[in-house]
Chain A
Amino acid sequence: MRPRAGSKIGGVSVRYAVLVILALMVLLPFVSIILAALHAPGSQISGLSIPDQWSWQNFTLAWEQGNFTNLMRSSMIIAFGVVPLAVLLATLAAYGLSILKVWGNRVLSLGFVLGLTLPVELVVVALYFNLREVGLTNSYIGIILAEAALFLPFGVYWMQAHFSSMPEELVEAARIDGARDMMVLVRVLLPISWPAITTLSVLYFMWSWNQFLLVLVMMQDPDRRTAPAGLGLFVGQYSTDIPLLAAASVIVIAPIVIVYLTFQRSFVNGITQGAVKG
């Protein structure tokens, strides 16, 4: 790989110095709360400071007082409900729109894409009162369906872009062999679509895990809130106990960071390509 011609601002060492400084700025908040979480419970901390003795107690305390056994369970139930449901619906819809070219597919695609600019705020007000009428507030099902609806525009768009990039001969050949539509999807397209589906699933998991406003509104039962929603309310109760709050934040952040590190390529590709495609 020869060096790019258009990159002569500063030498390589300057570039690395800038990169390292930026990386430190990004990481500083993490270092800061992890250090804070390791101080003795209830202690006063000032700035970045190494604790006199490492104390893991805050994590246990935060887990118990923050009710995290229940919060984590609901977060998981919701995420593992939303991800398969939304991925399945998006894949089927994209197949119908891009490959089967259902009547009105252009209008329908446009309708889904428009959903990308709908702010949650517009949906959530009436959604709460609509679902209250049919008894779907305070229920996992209501939240799962609402999140799936909010995430569908991106998924349909993503899977459509993916299916459109497939060579058409593939579908044609299978049809000439007499395969039915469902067979074409399951046997021909899905086996080569796993990278796209993995990326979509990972993004959906992240959005579901991080969703706050919807859960705050739809779920009043404190035992069935999600981890971020629980944390948002935990802050109000223990606003002065920094080590405890820091530990609670680390607990909420940890699962998504683990997923991110495991699937980091999917994340970066999903967000950069998902935005640029089309």
Chain B
Amino acid sequence: MPDDLAMSPSPPRAGAARGGEENAVRRTRRLPRGSRRAKGLLYVLPALAVYVGFAIWPALSTLRLSFLEWDGILPPVWAAFENYVEIFQDPALYEAILHSLILIIFFSFVPVVIGLLMTALLLGRVRTGMTFFRVVFFLPQVLPLVAVGVTWRWLYAENGVINQFLEVIGLGGITRAWLGDYHLALVALGLIGTWTMSGLCMMLFLAGAQKIDTSLYEAAIIDGAGPFQQFRHVTLPGVRREITIAAVITTIAALASFDLVFVTTNGGPAGQTNVPALLVYRLAFNEGNIGSASALAVVLTVIVIGFVSAIRYFAREDR
């Protein structure tokens, strides 16, 4: 989803002075009357109330719960940082975090690379049928991940399509129930993410690349740049912004993934595909360990914010 922290924190604001116009008009334009600015509050307040009441307040409450020992029924007991210490001591918990980091490779890195390859291949000449391809490549992005998960369970099954294909191409020896394989379940899960995210990355990059001034390519050709160099020195810098955005969106999807894991493996086999979101759900709503669940949710949020900031930082520095 477009969970993108806007490049500049506030959207571009109109209202910059445009020279040579009547002074009085300009004054009202720049500074709406005080009463109008105050009345603006009436328009913002309903949204603010719902947002604070149902998102910000619960988020802060979760932070508070992370310092308590609570089963959801009896009165809570103060636990200070115990829940956090537990996360780093309990292998099941920190392994879940590691798994979600591995998922970033499949949800984010691979789709970005695929998207860039496709952009290089498709830029420019392909016109007829583009709408069709656009619709198809975007399709995985609009589906409920639960249904995607059910579908892939079947594709990965012992007698599913993946194994059928492997047998056709003579790799019958490696067929298995992929999502049940101790070593490969996480990779199999990650590849579902690759399937859902690649189209999104590609569409973002194509949209960005179409805005690149064609004269840049002409200049590059005059300078003797080959196709690869043109891609490296013109296309790639031209879609830098889109790469950042794609990386942010897909990384958040990887770290916070729940639906897909819940439906396909539910953490198995033997905890090999546990992810933080799944354990938050399980701890809070099945095991009545709300303190640990909250602490894990807080750690997850910190990791998400850390990654998003890091991606933005690196994207900015090279500029």
User: Bound state CA distance, A45 and B262, in angstroms?
Assistant: 24
- Inside 8 A of B5's CB, which chain A residues have their CB? 113-114, 116-117
Given contacts A32-B155, A113-B6, contact A276 B163 (CB under 8 A): no
A39-66 contact mask (Cβ, 8 Å, vs B): 1 or 0: 0000011111000000000000000000
B174: interface (CB < 8 Å): no
Q: A3, B124: Cβ atoms under 8 Å? A: yes
Taking CB atoms and an 8 Å cut-off, the chain B residues in 240-270 that contact chain A are: 241-242, 245-246, 249, 252, 255-256, 258-259, 262-263
B145-161 contact mask (Cβ, 8 Å, vs A): 1 or 0: 11111111111010111
Q: B284, A125: Cβ atoms under 8 Å? A: yes
A93: interface (CB < 8 Å): yes
Taking CB atoms and an 8 Å cut-off, the chain A residues in 215-251 that contact chain B are: 216-217, 227-229, 231-232, 235, 242, 245-246, 248-249
Q: B125, A3: Cβ atoms under 8 Å? A: yes
User: Bound state CA distance, A244 and B163, in angstroms?
Assistant: 21
User: Bound state CA distance, A15 and B117, in angstroms?
Assistant: 11
- B: interface residue count bin: 35 or more
Min distance, Cβ A201 to any Cβ of chain B, angstroms: 14
B200: interface (CB < 8 Å): yes
Q: B164, A47: Cβ atoms under 8 Å? A: yes
Min distance, Cβ A186 to any Cβ of chain B, angstroms: 12
Given contacts A105-B40, A278-B11, contact A212 B124 (CB under 8 A): no
Q: A164, B139: Cβ atoms under 8 Å? A: no
Given contacts A46-B159, A92-B43, A96-B41, contact A127 B123 (CB under 8 A): no
User: Bound state CA distance, A157 and B8, in angstroms?
Assistant: 11
Min distance, Cβ A93 to any Cβ of chain B, angstroms: 4
- Inside 8 A of A110's CB, which chain B residues have their CB? 9-10
Q: B39, A117: Cβ atoms under 8 Å? A: no
Q: B135, A213: Cβ atoms under 8 Å? A: no
Q: A127, B58: Cβ atoms under 8 Å? A: yes
User: Bound state CA distance, A253 and B281, in angstroms?
Assistant: 25
- Inside 8 A of A6's CB, which chain B residues have their CB? 123-124, 216-217, 220-221, 227, 230-231, 234-235
Min distance, Cβ B273 to any Cβ of chain A, angstroms: 16
User: Bound state CA distance, A99 and B110, in angstroms?
Assistant: 41
* Additional 18 contacts, C-beta under 8 A, given A23-B132, A102-B44, A145-B54: A7-B125, A16-B126, A23-B136, A29-B152, A89-B50, A95-B43, A110-B9, A117-B5, A119-B300, A122-B298, A122-B300, A122-B301, A161-B12, A210-B142, A212-B144, A253-B147, A256-B143, A257-B142
17 pairs, CB–CB < 8 Å, chain A vs chain B: A5-B214, A5-B218, A10-B121, A18-B121, A23-B132, A23-B136, A29-B155, A47-B159, A100-B40, A102-B38, A109-B11, A121-B256, A125-B280, A154-B1, A213-B277, A249-B151, A271-B141
Interface residues of B (CB under 8 A from A): 1-15, 25, 28-29, 32, 36-44, 46-48, 50-51, 53-62, 64-65, 72, 118, 120-127, 129, 132-155, 157, 159-161, 163-165, 195, 199-200, 203-204, 207-208, 214, 216-218, 220-221, 227-228, 230-231, 234-235, 241-242, 245-246, 249, 252, 255-256, 258-259, 262-263, 276-277, 280-281, 284-285, 290, 293-294, 297-298, 300-301, 304-305, 308
Interface residues of A (CB under 8 A from B): 1, 3-10, 12, 14-16, 18-19, 22-23, 25-30, 32-33, 36, 44-48, 89-90, 92-93, 95-98, 100-103, 105-106, 108-110, 112-130, 145-146, 148-150, 152-154, 156-157, 160-161, 164-166, 168, 172, 175, 181, 203, 206-207, 209-210, 212-213, 216-217, 227-229, 231-232, 235, 242, 245-246, 248-249, 252-253, 256-257, 260-261, 264, 267-268, 270-278
